[in-house]
Amino acid sequence: MLICILGFVKAMEDHKDELILILAGYQKEMEKFLQTNPGLRSRFPIHIDFPDYNKQELLQIAEQLCLKRQYQLDAQTKIALLNSLNPPENNSDDNFGNARTVRNIIEKAIRRQAVRLISKHSTTREELMVIEPCDLVGVDQCANV
Protein backbone atom coordinates (compact mmCIF):
# COMPACT_ATOMS: atom_id res chain seq x y z
CA MET A 1 0.00 0.00 0.00
CA LEU A 2 2.89 2.36 0.73
CA ILE A 3 4.13 2.14 -2.88
CA CYS A 4 0.64 2.91 -4.13
CA ILE A 5 0.37 5.95 -1.84
CA LEU A 6 3.80 7.24 -2.90
CA GLY A 7 2.75 7.00 -6.56
CA PHE A 8 -0.53 8.62 -5.68
CA VAL A 9 1.19 11.53 -3.89
CA LYS A 10 3.65 11.99 -6.78
CA ALA A 11 0.82 12.07 -9.34
CA MET A 12 -1.01 14.62 -7.20
CA GLU A 13 2.12 16.80 -7.06
CA ASP A 14 2.98 16.40 -10.76
CA HIS A 15 -0.56 17.28 -11.88
CA LYS A 16 -1.69 19.61 -9.10
CA ASP A 17 -2.96 22.26 -11.52
CA GLU A 18 -4.89 19.73 -13.60
CA LEU A 19 -6.31 17.45 -10.96
CA ILE A 20 -9.18 17.62 -8.53
CA LEU A 21 -9.34 14.66 -6.22
CA ILE A 22 -12.22 13.86 -3.91
CA LEU A 23 -11.91 11.12 -1.33
CA ALA A 24 -14.88 9.73 0.52
CA GLY A 25 -15.21 7.14 3.22
CA TYR A 26 -15.94 6.42 6.84
CA GLN A 27 -14.37 8.91 9.20
CA LYS A 28 -12.11 6.45 11.06
CA GLU A 29 -10.86 4.83 7.87
CA MET A 30 -10.23 8.19 6.18
CA GLU A 31 -8.27 9.38 9.22
CA LYS A 32 -6.17 6.22 9.15
CA PHE A 33 -5.57 6.70 5.40
CA LEU A 34 -4.48 10.32 5.83
CA GLN A 35 -1.97 9.21 8.47
CA THR A 36 -0.27 6.74 6.10
CA ASN A 37 1.91 9.49 4.63
CA PRO A 38 3.12 12.62 6.47
CA GLY A 39 2.33 14.94 3.54
CA LEU A 40 -1.01 13.48 2.62
CA ARG A 41 -3.19 15.44 5.05
CA SER A 42 -1.88 18.79 3.79
CA ARG A 43 -2.87 17.84 0.24
CA PHE A 44 -6.51 17.56 1.32
CA PRO A 45 -7.20 20.89 3.04
CA ILE A 46 -10.99 20.63 2.94
CA HIS A 47 -12.74 18.00 5.07
CA ILE A 48 -16.51 17.67 5.14
CA ASP A 49 -18.23 15.47 7.70
CA PHE A 50 -21.77 14.41 6.88
CA PRO A 51 -24.03 13.56 9.81
CA ASP A 52 -25.67 10.16 9.92
CA TYR A 53 -29.33 9.92 8.96
CA ASN A 54 -31.83 9.71 11.80
CA LYS A 55 -34.53 7.01 11.89
CA GLN A 56 -37.17 9.18 10.19
CA GLU A 57 -34.78 10.01 7.35
CA LEU A 58 -33.89 6.33 6.98
CA LEU A 59 -37.61 5.51 6.79
CA GLN A 60 -38.05 8.15 4.05
CA ILE A 61 -35.17 6.55 2.14
CA ALA A 62 -36.84 3.14 2.48
CA GLU A 63 -40.15 4.55 1.22
CA GLN A 64 -38.42 6.15 -1.78
CA LEU A 65 -36.65 2.89 -2.62
CA CYS A 66 -39.97 1.06 -2.47
CA LEU A 67 -41.78 3.67 -4.51
CA LYS A 68 -39.16 3.44 -7.27
CA ARG A 69 -39.90 -0.27 -7.56
CA GLN A 70 -43.67 0.16 -7.11
CA TYR A 71 -43.78 -1.35 -3.63
CA GLN A 72 -45.39 0.10 -0.52
CA LEU A 73 -44.72 -0.18 3.17
CA ASP A 74 -47.91 -0.41 5.19
CA ALA A 75 -48.17 1.37 8.56
CA GLN A 76 -47.20 -1.73 10.57
CA THR A 77 -44.19 -2.34 8.33
CA LYS A 78 -43.03 1.25 8.81
CA ILE A 79 -43.19 0.80 12.59
CA ALA A 80 -41.32 -2.52 12.36
CA LEU A 81 -38.67 -0.93 10.17
CA LEU A 82 -38.24 2.02 12.51
CA ASN A 83 -37.87 -0.38 15.44
CA SER A 84 -35.23 -2.39 13.57
CA LEU A 85 -33.09 0.58 12.59
CA ASN A 86 -30.23 1.34 14.91
CA PRO A 87 -28.35 4.39 13.71
CA PRO A 88 -24.71 4.63 14.84
CA GLU A 89 -25.38 6.37 18.16
CA ASN A 90 -27.14 3.16 19.31
CA ASN A 91 -25.23 0.77 17.09
CA SER A 92 -21.96 -0.94 17.87
CA ASP A 93 -21.42 -1.65 14.17
CA ASP A 94 -18.76 0.75 12.89
CA ASN A 95 -19.72 -0.16 9.33
CA PHE A 96 -23.34 0.92 9.61
CA GLY A 97 -24.05 2.24 6.13
CA ASN A 98 -27.18 4.30 6.58
CA ALA A 99 -28.85 4.37 3.16
CA ARG A 100 -26.95 1.29 2.01
CA THR A 101 -28.18 -0.60 5.07
CA VAL A 102 -31.76 0.46 4.36
CA ARG A 103 -31.38 -0.51 0.69
CA ASN A 104 -30.17 -3.97 1.75
CA ILE A 105 -33.11 -4.35 4.15
CA ILE A 106 -35.61 -3.40 1.42
CA GLU A 107 -34.02 -5.66 -1.19
CA LYS A 108 -34.13 -8.61 1.24
CA ALA A 109 -37.73 -7.77 2.14
CA ILE A 110 -38.71 -7.82 -1.53
CA ARG A 111 -37.13 -11.25 -1.94
CA ARG A 112 -38.84 -12.51 1.22
CA GLN A 113 -42.16 -11.12 0.02
CA ALA A 114 -41.76 -13.02 -3.25
CA VAL A 115 -41.04 -16.28 -1.40
CA ARG A 116 -44.01 -15.66 0.90
CA LEU A 117 -46.39 -15.00 -2.00
CA ILE A 118 -45.25 -17.86 -4.22
CA SER A 119 -46.93 -20.38 -1.93
CA LYS A 120 -50.34 -18.71 -2.38
CA HIS A 121 -52.72 -20.04 -5.02
CA SER A 122 -53.79 -16.57 -6.08
CA THR A 123 -52.34 -13.16 -5.36
CA THR A 124 -53.93 -9.74 -5.70
CA ARG A 125 -52.20 -6.73 -7.21
CA GLU A 126 -52.17 -5.10 -3.77
CA GLU A 127 -50.48 -8.13 -2.19
CA LEU A 128 -47.80 -7.95 -4.88
CA MET A 129 -47.11 -4.33 -4.01
CA VAL A 130 -47.19 -4.36 -0.20
CA ILE A 131 -44.21 -5.23 1.97
CA GLU A 132 -45.44 -6.64 5.28
CA PRO A 133 -43.60 -6.57 8.62
CA CYS A 134 -42.80 -10.28 8.34
CA ASP A 135 -40.97 -9.58 5.09
CA LEU A 136 -38.52 -7.47 7.07
CA VAL A 137 -37.64 -10.27 9.47
CA GLY A 138 -38.23 -13.35 7.34
CA VAL A 139 -41.01 -15.45 5.88
CA ASP A 140 -40.91 -18.01 8.64
CA GLN A 141 -42.58 -15.43 10.91
CA CYS A 142 -45.49 -14.57 8.61
CA ALA A 143 -48.82 -15.52 10.07
CA ASN A 144 -50.58 -16.09 6.74
CA VAL A 145 -48.05 -18.48 5.17
pLDDT block averages, 10 residues each, the chain of length 145: 62 81 84 84 85 89 97 94 72 63 94 92 93 79 54
Q: Flag whether the pTM goes above 0.85.
A: no
Report pLDDT digits (tens) over 95-114: 555 788 899 999 999 999 99
E strand segments, 25-91: 72-73
DSSP SS3 for 16: coil
55-141 placed in CATH 1.10.8.60: yes
Rounded to 5°, angle at Cα 73 from 125 and 109: 85
All structural domains of the chain with their residue ranges: 2-43, 55-141
